[in-house]
Amino acid sequence: MLSVYTLPEAFSPAECDAIILLAREEKLADAGLVRNRSDHNLRRADLAWLDERAGGGWIMERIMKLVAEANRECFDFALTEFGESPQVARYGAEREGHFTWHSDIGEGALASRRKLTMVVQLSDGNDYEGGMLELQPDANIRQADRAKGSAVLFPSFVLHRVTPVTAGERYSLSTWVHGQAFR
Ligand SMILES: O=C(O)CCC(=O)C(=O)O
Ligand SMILES: [Fe+2]
């Protein structure tokens, strides 16, 4: 099992812009205040859930195709469903948006069944400073490709973080795939 798998050009730049526009149709929610997160020091970002936006069906279709490809090529996990909405996050320099080291597997009915995480870079890596998605599957920290439209997939237990954005803004699209607990 390769622990971090990159799919370059998972979405085209125009598709990335369309996803950002869709997410921005309504006011984004503060990640520090929603869904049981209450600490701005752990995560400072604004969020939108695509299942709450009409017209995003094509995004889910693409996500399913990308996940199937990565799982076939790399992970071979027993996956059963997409149990949570894809999430768009915006990390802005105005408050040094970031997300500290964490694993995506947590307590709770859904978070405990997360097995595979996919993050798509929706912004051009040259348009912001900081905002590096870093992963630590072993002793070495890897930096995710910053190219707009590239996707990185990893087992949801792998530690990862987003370093503070110090200029500009970074958008990402996160998806979790669920199944029976690892055993
Ligand atoms: O925005 C990112 O690159 C990562 C987001 C993330 O780790 C999460 O939502 O769990
Ligand atoms: Fe995460």
The ligand 1 atom at the shortest distance from the C-alpha of residue 45 is 1
The series of mean pLDDT values per 10 residues for the chain, 183 residues long, is 89 98 89 60 89 88 97 96 95 95 90 95 98 96 97 97 98 97 81
- Our answer on whether the CB atom of 90 is closer than 6 Å to any ligand 1 atom is no
**What's the sign of the alpha-carbon dihedral 156, 38, 17, 111?**
positive
Q: Which letter, b or e, does each residue of 64-103 get, where b requires 16 or more Cβ atoms within 10 Å of its Cβ?
A: eebbeebbeebbebebeebebbbbbbbbbbeeebbbeeee
**Ligand 2 center–CA 51 separation, angstroms:** 19
**Ligand 2 center–CA 21 separation, angstroms:** 22
- Our answer on whether the CB atom of 174 is closer than 6 Å to any ligand 1 atom is yes
Choose the residue to mutate in 87, 103, 122, 174 for probing ligand 1, maximizing ligand atoms within 8 Å of C-beta.
174
Domain range enclosing 89: 5-178
- Residue 140: CATH number of its domain: 2.60.120.620
Task: Find the DSSP H helices in the chain.
Answer: 13-23, 57-70
- Our answer on whether the CB atom of 89 is closer than 6 Å to any ligand 1 atom is yes
**Ligand 2 center–CA 111 separation, angstroms:** 11
- 183 within domain boundaries: no
pLDDT of residue 20: 97
CA distance 177 to 181: 12
- 97 within domain boundaries: yes
Which contacts (CB < 8 Å, 24+ apart) does range 103-107 have? 103/156, 103/157, 103/158, 103/159, 103/160, 104/156, 104/157, 104/160, 104/176, 105/156, 105/157
The number of domains in the chain is: 1
Cα 38 to Cα 42, 48, 95, 109: the distances in Å are 9, 17, 16, 19
pLDDT of residue 126: 97
- Our answer on whether the CB atom of 153 is closer than 6 Å to any ligand 1 atom is no
- 162 within domain boundaries: yes
CA distance 63 to 151: 10
ipTM value: 0.99
CA distance 158 to 116: 10
Protein residue whose Cα sits closest to atom 1 of ligand 1: 172
- 128 within domain boundaries: yes
pLDDT of residue 106: 87
- 106 within domain boundaries: yes
- 141 within domain boundaries: yes
CB 134 within 8 A of CB 144: yes
- 148 within domain boundaries: yes
Q: From the CA of 87, which ligand is nearest? A: 1
Choose the residue to mutate in 142, 162, 170 for probing ligand 1, maximizing ligand atoms within 8 Å of C-beta.
162
Phi, psi of 106 (to 5 degrees): -135, -165
pLDDT of residue 33: 57
